[in-house]
Amino acid sequence: MLAGRLPFVLFALSFCARLLFTDATTDDAFITYRYVENILAGNGFVYNVGERVLGVTTPLYTLLLALVGMMGVPARVAGPLLNILADSLVAPLLSRPEPGSRERPIFGPLLYALCPINAFWSASGMETGLFCFTIALALYLYERERLTAASIACAVAVLLRVDAGILVAVLIGHHLTTRRRMPWRAIAAFAGTVAPWIVFATIYFGQPVPNSVIAKAALQKTAVTDALWTILGRGFLHLRNPVGIALLGFAIYAFVAVRRSRSSPWTLFAITYAAAYTLTRAQLHPWYYPPAYVGYLPLAGVGIGAAIARIRLERWKPLAVILLAAGAAAGLGIVYRTQLKQAATLGGFLRRTGAAIGRATPAGSSILLKDIGYLGYYSGLQVHDFAGLVTPALIPYRARLDFAGGLRAVQSDYALVSPEVARLLEADEWFRANYELIEIYSSGEFRMLCYGRRSVRSGEIRIPPGTPIEIESGEVI
């Protein structure tokens, strides 16, 4: 009876764990939200009105939020909820018996359900939860030889995020290795699903590849030896944490001791995904890690079960489940007390700062920003994006950290920067001659400086420098 209820228990645990983090909307989510609002306003699939640049890596998610928005549900509400629901379905999917087996896995699904990293990022407003679910669904369908359905799930994953191409490569490679033939029908279904978007994006944006991918690829790469630690060891595997070390140990044990784990497409995807990002030596954001756990945590779960069977402690399996759940819950509590508070505090500061700048500057003004999520969304200004996500002309300047050169290239009316960037700008003679400090925004540990171009500065700022701006907590910025 308990086995039959396991999927529902896992869904409930997953859903409750993810609901804890609904205040953790990350900055990049608001890039997508601004695209959504422009679509709904009739301005087109754009970030800045009139500029057709695909600055989001998740076009399907953007269109999905726009569709939900047409029903009256704001993207800020629909985004986290859709991802929480989708990610909560992964653990029940993982608990299904493998083909040819009647035994339901428990440890891997439980690890996923209560994983703090996946819980946090599925509630962040990003596409992470939907992406992880489509990956899990594609692997689940492929394992049961439903190749056409699996290929469509792969196509949906690619439209959610282009790095799902790793999954496509893994499944084609696995099929060629095990079946010795190319799955042409499945490939045709995949191509037919993604083709309409490729045609539209090529006509509308001039290219099907998101500009955000190009911008991120241009960033400075870390050394190979550094990447092995910062991306693989510290990022994917969390080896600074004893729990991360233990999970790696169980995963290795499963890989060595359980033959089916070595050829499992779930395992191969997790290894290939982590290896691909490590070898590219890219500067990763933490929301790139959770998809690997769709395959990695089930592998660690197999290792836990195999270790219990090896030392003949099957009768203690329920106790092991309870201890594992308690440990994961403790991890959720730690992340809740630390990361959630920091994310919510930073988000509140950026939201209020963006709104204040929007009120203080003339309509149609342009502003240079390095992080364009909250600030771009709440200011409503035309944004020159120093990261290059929506301003391709700034990509080479970002790659060499030439902030003054980038500002000179786009001639923004205003620039809002961190103290570190401000010091770099102030060292440039051209910048000092053309821009002046007009406002400082600060709250606790957060501080940003706003500069205005001298030719547009006089008489146009509606909030005089030094005027305190009330914020929700009663502090002043």
Instruction: Give residue-wise pLDDT tens across range 315-348.
Output: 767 777 787 777 777 777 777 667 777 777 888 8
Label residue 197 exposed, middle or buried (CB < 10 Å: 0-12, 13-18, 19+): middle
Are 119 and 60 in the same domain?
Answer: yes
Does 331 reside within a domain?
A: no
| Residue appearing with tokens 């379905």 | 89
Looking at the fold, whether 261 and 402 belong to one and the same domain comes out as no
Q: How many distinct structural domains can be found in the chain?
A: 2
How does residue 1 score in pLDDT terms, banded at 50, 70 and 90? very low
**Does one domain contain both 384 and 257?**
no
- In a shared domain, residues 298 and 426: no
403 and 305 in a common domain: no
Read off the pLDDT of residues 270-311 as tens digits, 9 standing for 90 and up: 999 999 999 988 778 889 999 999 999 999 999 998 888 887
Helix boundaries (H) for 361-418: 373-379, 395-399, 403-410
Q: Is the pTM above the cut of 0.75?
A: yes
pLDDT value, residue 474: 31
Write the pLDDT tens digit of every residue in 120-171: 999 999 999 999 999 999 999 999 999 999 999 999 999 999 999 999 999 9
What is the pLDDT at residue 10? 96
Residues 269 and 415 in one domain: no
355 and 210: one domain? no
Mean pLDDT of 227-238: 90
pLDDT tier at 69 (50, 70, 90 boundaries)? very high
- Residues 351 and 265 grouped into a single domain: no
Residue 255 burial by Cβ neighbours in a 10 Å radius (0-12, 13-18, 19+): middle
Last residue of a domain, one of 268, 289, 311: 311
Q: Is the pLDDT of residue 95 over 80?
A: yes
- pLDDT band (50, 70, 90) for residue 9: very high
Strand partners, 417: 449
Cβ neighbours, 10 Å, residue 9:
16
Reference 437, options 425, 429, 409, 446; nearest CA is 425
In terms of domains, do 260 and 394 share one?
no
Q: What is the DSSP code (8-state) at residue 1? A: -
Provide the residue range defining the domain that includes 134.
Answer: 2-311
* Same domain as 349, residue 303: no
Which tokens hold the place of 194? 């993604």
320 belongs to a structural domain: no
Nearest CA among 49, 139, 136, 20 for reference residue 87: 136
- Does residue 350 sit in the same domain as residue 290? no
Asked if the model's pLDDT at residue 470 lies above 80, the reply is no
Residues in the chain: 477
The pLDDT of residue 334 is 74
Which of 68-82, 217-231, 440-454 has the largest mean confidence? Answer: 68-82
pLDDT tops 70 at residue 456: no
Mean pLDDT score, 382-396: 94
For residue 327, being part of any structural domain is answered with no
| Residue 332 covered by a domain | no
